[in-house]
Structure 1
Amino acid sequence: MAPTMIFELEKWQSVLICLLFAVIYVGSLYVWVDDKNKNRDHPDTIKRRFTSVSIICVIIPILLQCFGTSSDSENAHTFLEWLGIRFSRIFLAVILPLFLTMVLFLGPLTLHYVDGVFRIYLEPRYWTNSLKNLIWIRNHIVAPISEEMIYRACMLPLLVPCFGSGMSVFLCPLFFGVAHFHHMIEKVIQGRQALSEAFKQSLFQLCYTTLFGAYSAFLFLRTGHFIAPVVVHAFCNHMGFPAFREVMAHPNTETRHKLIASFVIGLVIWMALLYPITSPFIYSNDIYDL
């Protein structure tokens, strides 16, 4: 049986370590000197960043383990359990949080149906071409796995013992949201956007990613599974920010009203299902208490 451990740090220590993890993750994206004139979507940049984050996703868990203390208390768990890596009811951890998030995105999914976009997903060629596309792989596989590993699985074990689960849900995504400001620096340096425009766009992204980060942290703590926020992260990256403008500008009044209704209905049903579908009992989760 694997040894159990507990994380007992001061609040300021846990925050500084989480900040260190965030800096290491973002810094790893810029270690390649000859990438300065290549944007984030350039194949060379993507491949090298894949290498960087893969290494970081090995190093940071090792660093995290160094801050744990062996313990036999009832609050202690194995290191992999703290990371949310376990197999008990993993199928439910994949399906139910994804279903819940699809309910939240009922409006955008309905818009996809109205626009006929959903037909693309039924074509095998779409999936074969996607798996050859580095940007698709980054957005749907590498980014969700690496970001959830660092910003959820490696930070929440440090924050929860100090701040409690409730506070950690809102504290953890701040590191995630602020880390996305590196996109602004990248755009300004490469001359693709003016500073003011890049700042506004990054500020909006900060708000959106912070909200998503809170939701992702909530799913991690409620299910006790790393895979739950990873799958939801990939889905949200695919859907993007809801196209409210497209809905309001739809030329058919009846269709526009149906779309608006689907957005509202999706939000209401999501709120009603949020706690029942994420009940820790369903996922056999006794690691985190939320």
Structure 2
Amino acid sequence: MSPDMSDDDRLSFIDTTFVPPDAPCWVSILACFLLACFYVGSLYVWRSDLPRDHPAVIKRRFTSVLIVSALSPVFVWAWKEFTGVEARPPLLALMGIRLEGIIPAVTLPLLLTMVLFLGPLIQLAADCPWGFLDGIKVGLAHFHHVIELLRFGQGTVSGIFLSAVFQFSYTAVFGAYTAFIFIRTGHLVGPVLCHSFCNYMGFPALSTALEHPQRLTVLASYLLGMLLFLLLLFPLTEPRFYGDPTPVCSLAAGSSSVCS
């Protein structure tokens, strides 16, 4: 919400735009969990002996994701009807699909994420003088999944387990970051672009940075990127850039540091 709004104005705005759900809180938590399981489970409905990076498997997974994404609004609508939530913003706006503030939503979150990856970007530019975009293409998008590694006998069980724990921790932090962007901006496009960029870049090659010929420059860019990211995190996601208050924040039962 706008910082110049009084407490009475905030309460008046909330009271006229949001009616809390009748169902218990655990129902909403369960709905979120089921939707996540629905998405992940759709990737494994295809039975195949091919690895996950095979073009045929990629096409099938793309089809699954497309179907789930198309059905997600129906799922959210069913949750809204079941819990009795009433809010002024339309359903698509609550899901981050709207035009208000679209230009900042496309540019600022992505710029913020690129600032965080300043170190890897400088490292790639130094290692790939033939072209910056060509250099980005050498980034690893994902770690392999545990089931597939075991299935094709790639690595030891302990190594695969540690890799899975690391991947889970990394993706959990990234999920919290994209959720923060979604709440602050009220747009879906920002998290999608940030996710695509991070997939394109992969996890920063810290071990390579420590052995880089220009180690001091690369490590300094890593540190500078993290510091600038922390300084710009709230300013570049200021809700007033995207239409204050954002539709998601209109569901808040009170003022929140994330929404203000």
TM-score interval, smaller chain: 0.7 to 0.9
Tell whether the 8 Å contact from 1:187 to 1:193 is kept in structure 2 after alignment: yes
Structure 2 CA distance for aligned equivalents of residues 246 and 65 of structure 1: 47
Determine the structure 2 residue equivalent to 1:268. Answer: 227
Tell whether the 8 Å contact from 1:224 to 1:288 is kept in structure 2 after alignment: yes
**Mapping of residues 1-290 of structure 1, within 5 Å:** 8=21, 9-33=23-47, 35=48, 37-69=49-81, 75-116=87-128, 119-121=131-133, 183-251=145-213, 255-286=214-245, 287-289=247-249, 290=258
* Cα distance, 1:231 vs structure 2: 0.6
RMSD: 2.8
* Cα distance, 1:211 vs structure 2: 0.8
* Cα distance, 1:265 vs structure 2: 1.1
Structure 1 CA distance for aligned equivalents of residues 68 and 130 of structure 2: 36
* Cα distance, 1:64 vs structure 2: 1.5
* TM superposition score normalised by structure 1: 0.72
In structure 2, give the amino acid aligned to 1:278: T
Structure 1 CA distance for aligned equivalents of residues 40 and 97 of structure 2: 24
* Cα distance, 1:278 vs structure 2: 0.4
Higher helix share: 1
* Cα distance, 1:117 vs structure 2: 5.2
* Cα distance, 1:6 vs structure 2: 6.2
Structure 2 CA distance for aligned equivalents of residues 187 and 76 of structure 1: 48
- What secondary structure is seen at the aligned counterpart in 2 of 1:67? helix
* Cα distance, 1:58 vs structure 2: 1.6
Determine the structure 2 residue equivalent to 1:170. Answer: none
Corresponding residue pairs, total: 229
Structure 2 CA distance for aligned equivalents of residues 10 and 250 of structure 1: 54
Does the C-alpha gap of structure 1 residues 72 and 187 become closer, same or farther in structure 2, counting only changes over 3 Å?
A: closer
Tell whether the 8 Å contact from 1:5 to 1:68 is kept in structure 2 after alignment: no
What CA deviation, in whole Å up to 9, does each residue of 1:77-122 have, x standing for no partner?
210011100011211101111111111111111111211257152x
Tell whether the 8 Å contact from 1:101 to 1:232 is kept in structure 2 after alignment: yes
Tell whether the 8 Å contact from 1:7 to 1:67 is kept in structure 2 after alignment: no
- What secondary structure is seen at the aligned counterpart in 2 of 1:92? helix
**Structure 2 unaligned spans of 5+:** 1-16, 250-257
In structure 1, give the amino acid aligned to 2:39: Y
Does the C-alpha gap of structure 1 residues 6 and 38 become closer, same or farther in structure 2, counting only changes over 3 Å?
A: farther
Q: Which has the larger radius of gyration?
A: 2
Structure 2 CA distance for aligned equivalents of residues 80 and 86 of structure 1: 7
In structure 1, give the amino acid aligned to 2:220: A
In structure 2, give the amino acid aligned to 1:49: R
Percent same amino acid at aligned positions? 41
* TM superposition score normalised by structure 2: 0.79
In structure 2, give the amino acid aligned to 1:249: E
What CA deviation, in whole Å up to 9, does each residue of 1:8-34 have, x standing for no partner?
24221122112211221122112122x
Structure 1 CA distance for aligned equivalents of residues 220 and 156 of structure 2: 38
* Cα distance, 1:44 vs structure 2: 1.2
What CA deviation, in whole Å up to 9, does each residue of 1:133-166 have, x standing for no partner?
xxx9xx6xxx9xxxxxxxxxxxxxxxxxxxxxxx
- What secondary structure is seen at the aligned counterpart in 2 of 1:68? helix
**Structure 1 unaligned spans of 5+:** 131-135, 144-179
In structure 2, give the amino acid aligned to 1:288: V
Tell whether the 8 Å contact from 1:224 to 1:285 is kept in structure 2 after alignment: no
